[in-house]
Structure 1
Amino acid sequence: MTRRHFFTEAEVRAVVGDASAARVPVALADQLAAAEREVRDAFARNLPHALIRQGHGWGLATDAATAPETVAVGAMQGARMFLTAYTSGLLELCPHAWQARPQVMNCDPPVIVCTACLPACTAEIERMTPRWNNECDCCGAQDPRMFPVTMAIMGIYLSGHLCGDCHNRHAAAALREMPDVQLIGRKQPCPCGSGRRYKRCCGGGRS
């Protein structure tokens, strides 16, 4: 099994600094910005529904996901995961990979595909075997209990697994920035103000 290189925070800052110094054509910069907005908007809209469908019928409503410390921790972890996957034999499943359009990247197995081609590639991805079981996609630590994570970074839906330490660091940052947490039961009024029950409104799994 090939060993992956896991980027330190200092290495990430160096890479980001080099990228920031590069000149990007205005048109390309606009396309990249549009792709990032699309991914972030869809991510914010669909993730709560996905969690509710996979969970136990409750949702957590908070602004912590956009709070500065949480964003900083998540962005660093996402950058480390992105660079590790990028340098681990990343497989491009469609001809549009790396174009200025929304993309989906998986850390293990390391693959990337644009969102438009994803439906046609889903079966192929599901047949692939993970290459680094019980290895954190962020720091490389071995941990028998891994936490799945999905985040939006640079116009990419990034999916991977975090060890307990990396997961706890992100969770701790979120908890410090959640002064107004609402635990919403499925039969309670929806916080969007529609007047309907949560399970019949935003908690119904609709995107």
Structure 2
Amino acid sequence: MPVRHFLTDDQLDAILGGLADATALPVDLADQVAAAARETSGMGYAMAIAAAAQGDKAFLGALPSDRASRFRALRPRLRMMLAALGGGITYQCDHADEIRPLYLFCDPPSLVCTQPRCITEAGRNARKVGFRWDNQCDGCGRPAQTVFPSLATLGPLTISGHVCKLCADEMGKTAVRVSAS
């Protein structure tokens, strides 16, 4: 079984600081990525409102404009994504290599587009395969008897995982609470 690696804050900051912005992409590619990110954002908002209506906590929010706060908000998402990708990703549908809204499941690590039939099939496969890292936080790798479901977006990617209380609290600090009213 592959071993997941969880990068330190300094390592993540080096990655984030080295990323080019969208202006470095060809215009047609940047437009596609931006459109997929907008669609993902809209789906995330609808899911957050539905969760809040049922009494669950839901957090959303635009990234802060200052660099330090933006990096703090992005670190958990990037850490989860890189750990999942390093854990041996499985592509669950033929659409997963297209520029479109995608779901990344941390455990078992898999990537699928957001079409309902593809998500349903990915769920069936996950139940068959089972968890590789049960009782381990997908955000930091620590053992945790209790983990909390987590959905976070990173551009056109929605990252689904289970995080420990420390990671859930950290992610909550950089987000805006959504209410059903």
Q: Tell me the TM-score normalised to structure 1 length.
A: 0.71
User: Higher Cα Rg: structure 1 or 2?
Assistant: 1
Please give the secondary structure, in 2, of the residue aligned with 1:106. strand
Matched, 1:110 2:97: no
Residues 60 and 19 (structure 1 numbering): CA distance in 2 closer, same or farther, change over 3 Å?
Answer: closer
Q: Which runs of 5+ in 1 are unaligned?
A: 185-190, 192-207
Supply the distance in 2 between the matched residues of 1:59 and 1:82 (Cα, whole angstroms): 24
Q: Which residue does 1:161 correspond to in 2?
A: 162
On the 8 A contact 1:48/1:59 being kept in 2, the answer is no
Please give the secondary structure, in 1, of the residue aligned with 2:42. helix
Matched, 1:85 2:84: yes
Q: Which residue does 2:4 correspond to in 1?
A: 4
Please give the secondary structure, in 1, of the residue aligned with 2:105. strand
Residues 49 and 70 (structure 1 numbering): CA distance in 2 closer, same or farther, change over 3 Å?
Answer: farther
On the 8 A contact 1:70/1:170 being kept in 2, the answer is no
Residues 145 and 110 (structure 1 numbering): CA distance in 2 closer, same or farther, change over 3 Å?
Answer: same
Supply the distance in 2 between the matched residues of 1:134 and 1:172 (Cα, whole angstroms): 23
Q: Which residue does 2:147 correspond to in 1?
A: 146
Deviation at 1:137, TM superposition (A): 0.9
Deviation at 1:71, TM superposition (A): 6.4
On the 8 A contact 2:51/2:57 being kept in 1, the answer is no
Q: Tell me the TM-score normalised to structure 2 length.
A: 0.81
Q: Give the aligned length.
A: 175
On the 8 A contact 2:48/2:58 being kept in 1, the answer is no
Residues 67 and 99 (structure 1 numbering): CA distance in 2 closer, same or farther, change over 3 Å?
Answer: closer
Question: Which amino acid in the other structure matches residue 109 of structure 1?
Answer: P
Deviation at 1:132, TM superposition (A): 0.6
On the 8 A contact 2:152/2:159 being kept in 1, the answer is yes
Q: How does 1:1-207 map to 2 (within 5 A)?
A: 1-20=1-20, 23-53=24-54, 58=55, 65-66=61-62, 68=64, 73-116=72-115, 117-174=118-175, 191=181
